[in-house]
């Protein structure tokens, strides 16, 4: 009897553990394949770009990839590469094109393999795109050359949530990681040493969030935001996230001290999203004039501004320059991210406010710092939200989050940016079985950031630190 029961149980488990490709899930697109990997530019080190045909019936497609003498044919509605073959083809095609032909499609398309390398991997938070309460979430790391993902830290280890993770130009050795909740802390890993900090001081508005590292690693710019949420009643909008107040400050890593200045701590200005320039001598940020909330929420508009910063003394300038006067065109800027080569700033432009992820109209724009010309990144923007973005360490790849497929679940996309700032058609983060994976993934990719190597985060030590009450208190001083 027990034997029979065991057999039944084993059979059930076997049935349950088999992967089955189901093309009926491909409702994200009207195109013939999903993800849309047609006519894209990719780095040579990327994991195989498996995709599937969206047609549920008809003859079984044969997809032929060719470059020079090398030809690979894959039969099936789901095109799944062998990793070794893929790597070989990419290595051969580096700097050139792979031509793709399908037995069921009239068109031929190409995949350009760029010579510009992409970083080792990406870090992101996975969280259900919701309101105030959160279920399981954490910070995860994905190796871009394969499909391996690992959890760096998860909220199964403590009560609270993790967010605001930042690395210095993708350097996995220096990071700032913020924990919210009853065990709230900011974990800073500097020169291989991790410690838990309390970032709120009597002289600042609140906890330090939205970190951005100074290129030399001696400073981290933060903002402090008094953030609230509101919930719309009309169907096409769900959530509005807004600040009731916000200020900026720069953390002096070596002297454990927050530095502020009257120029970035104004009562009549909300400053947020700080970012250092490539040379570390300018601090970019978004600034808006306060408006009554909720009655004038839709009139809150952030401009892109900058202020000088002297890394030698840690002093913040007094003159504020406005780079993008978005208010004048009835728009609002968020997430300014300068490229590390100092050539461009990519930012998100939406109708109002600063939490663009909940704005369907939000798009990415690029500002050429040499010419001062700003333009929408038409090749990467879609009918739905494009929001958070991050530069690769060589400034040739931009990763951005988009809700283009279902309007809610954020997924990472990559685009190549050439020396003139021209973007290529983006491609989605590859998965072994992308249709299945993204169809059943019920968490969003939040704040995706490039990393140049595996992050060394000792999960057990981090857990001990978070669960203890010991915190190093940030100091504070005003800039000279």
Q: What is the DSSP letter of 119?
A: -
Residue 230 lies near other proteins (rule: CB under 8 A): yes
Q: C-beta of 167: minimal distance to other proteins in Å?
A: 21
User: Looking at 101, 134, 281, 311, which residue binds other proteins (CB under 8 A)?
Assistant: 134
Q: For other proteins, which is the closer residue by CB, 240 or 247?
A: 240
Within residues 231-270, the interface with other proteins by CB under 8 A covers: 231-238, 240
Q: Contact 252/258 with Cβ under 8 angstroms? A: yes
Residue 361 lies near other proteins (rule: CB under 8 A): no
Within residues 441-470, the interface with other proteins by CB under 8 A covers: 442, 459-460, 463, 467
Q: For other proteins, which is the closer residue by CB, 252 or 386?
A: 386
Q: C-beta of 236: minimal distance to other proteins in Å?
A: 8
As a dihedral over the C-alpha atoms of residue 357, residue 165, residue 140, residue 122, rounded to 10 degrees, the angle is 80
The rounded distance, in Å, linking the Cα atoms of 141 and 36 is 24
Sheet of strand 33-34, all strands in order from the earlier edge strand to the far edge: 33-34, 51-53, 78-79
Q: What does DSSP say about strands 121-127 and 138-143: parallel, antiparallel, or unpaired?
A: antiparallel
Nearest to 462 by CA among 165, 126, 134: 165
Q: What does DSSP say about strands 475-478 and 257-260: parallel, antiparallel, or unpaired?
A: parallel
Q: Contact 354/272 with Cβ under 8 angstroms? A: yes
User: Looking at 50, 54, 63, 157, which residue binds other proteins (CB under 8 A)?
Assistant: 157
Calculate ∠ Cα 8-14-20, nearest 5°: 140
Q: Which stretch binds other proteins (CB under 8 A): 141-149, 224-232, 301-309, 320-328?
A: 224-232
Within residues 391-420, the interface with other proteins by CB under 8 A covers: 405-409
The rounded distance, in Å, linking the Cα atoms of 116 and 2 is 60
Q: Which stretch binds other proteins (CB under 8 A): 52-60, 72-80, 95-103, 153-161?
A: 153-161
Residue 131 lies near other proteins (rule: CB under 8 A): yes
Phi, psi of 16 (to 5 degrees): -70, -20
Calculate ∠ Cα 409-412-417, nearest 5°: 145
Residue 312 lies near other proteins (rule: CB under 8 A): no
Q: C-beta of 245: minimal distance to other proteins in Å?
A: 18
Residue 9 lies near other proteins (rule: CB under 8 A): yes
Position of tokens 């996230």? 241
Q: For other proteins, which is the closer residue by CB, 64 or 382?
A: 382
Q: Rg for the chain (alpha carbons), in Å?
A: 24
User: Looking at 16, 84, 319, 371, which residue binds other proteins (CB under 8 A)?
Assistant: 16
Q: C-beta of 261: minimal distance to other proteins in Å?
A: 34
Q: C-beta of 207: minimal distance to other proteins in Å?
A: 20
Q: Under the rule (CB under 8 A), what is the footprint of other proteins?
A: 2, 9, 12-13, 15-19, 25, 27-28, 128, 130-136, 138, 151, 153-154, 156-159, 230-238, 240, 294, 297, 405-409, 439-440, 442, 459-460, 463, 467
């Amino acid at each position: 009897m027990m034997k029979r029961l065991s057999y039944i149980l084993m059979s059930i488990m076997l049935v349950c553990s088999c992967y089955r490709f189901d093309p009926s899930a491909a409702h994200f697109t009207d195109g013939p394949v999903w993800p849309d990997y047609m006519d894209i530019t990719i780095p040579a080190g990327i994991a195989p770009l498996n995709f599937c045909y969206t047609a549920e019936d008809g003859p079984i497609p044969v997809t032929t990839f060719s470059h020079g003498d090398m030809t690979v044919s894959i039969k099936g509605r789901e095109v799944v590469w062998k990793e070794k073959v893929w790597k070989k083809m990419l290595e051969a095609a580096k700097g050139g094109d792979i031509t793709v032909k399908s037995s069921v499609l009239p068109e031929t398309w190409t995949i350009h393999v760029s010579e510009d390398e992409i970083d080792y991997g990406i870090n992101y938070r996975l969280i259900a795109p919701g309101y105030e309460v959160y279920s399981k979430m954490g910070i995860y790391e994905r190796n871009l050359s394969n499909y391996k993902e690992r959890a760096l830290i998860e909220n199964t280890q403590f009560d609270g949530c993790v967010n605001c993770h930042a690395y210095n130009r993708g350097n996995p050795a220096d990071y700032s990681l913020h924990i919210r909740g009853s065990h709230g802390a900011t974990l800073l890993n500097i020169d291989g040493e991790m410690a838990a900090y309390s970032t709120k001081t009597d002289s600042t508005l609140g906890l330090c969030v939205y970190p951005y590292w100074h290129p030399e690693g001696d400073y981290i710019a933060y903002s402090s935001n008094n953030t609230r949420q509101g919930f719309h009643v009309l169907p096409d909008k769900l959530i509005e996230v807004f600040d009731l107040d916000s200020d900026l400050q720069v953390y002096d890593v070596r002297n454990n001290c927050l530095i502020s200045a009257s120029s970035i701590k104004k009562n009549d200005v909300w400053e947020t999203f700080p970012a250092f320039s490539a040379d570390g001598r300018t601090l970019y940020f978004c600034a808006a004039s306060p408006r009554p909330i909720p009655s004038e929420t839709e009139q809150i508009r952030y401009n892109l501004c900058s202020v000088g910063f002297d890394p030698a003394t840690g002093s913040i300038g007094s003159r504020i320059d406005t780079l993008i006067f978005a208010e004048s065109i009835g728009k609002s800027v968020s997430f300014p991210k300068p490229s590390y080569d100092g050539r461009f700033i990519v930012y998100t432009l939406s109708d109002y406010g600063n939490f663009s992820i909940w704005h369907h109209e939000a798009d990415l724009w690029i500002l050429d710092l040499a010419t001062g010309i700003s333009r929408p990144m038409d090749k990467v923007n879609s009918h739905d939200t494009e929001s958070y973005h991050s530069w690769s360490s060589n400034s040739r790849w931009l990763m951005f989050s988009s809700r283009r497929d279902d309007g809610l679940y954020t997924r990472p996309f990559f685009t190549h940016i050439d020396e003139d700032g021209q973007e290529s058609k983006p491609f989605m983060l590859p998965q072994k079985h992308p249709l299945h994976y993204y169809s059943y993934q019920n968490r969003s990719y939040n704040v995706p950031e490039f990393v140049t190597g595996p992050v060394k985060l000792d999960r057990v030590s981090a857990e001990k630190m978070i669960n203890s009450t010991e915190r190093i208190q940030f100091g504070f001083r005003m800039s000279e």
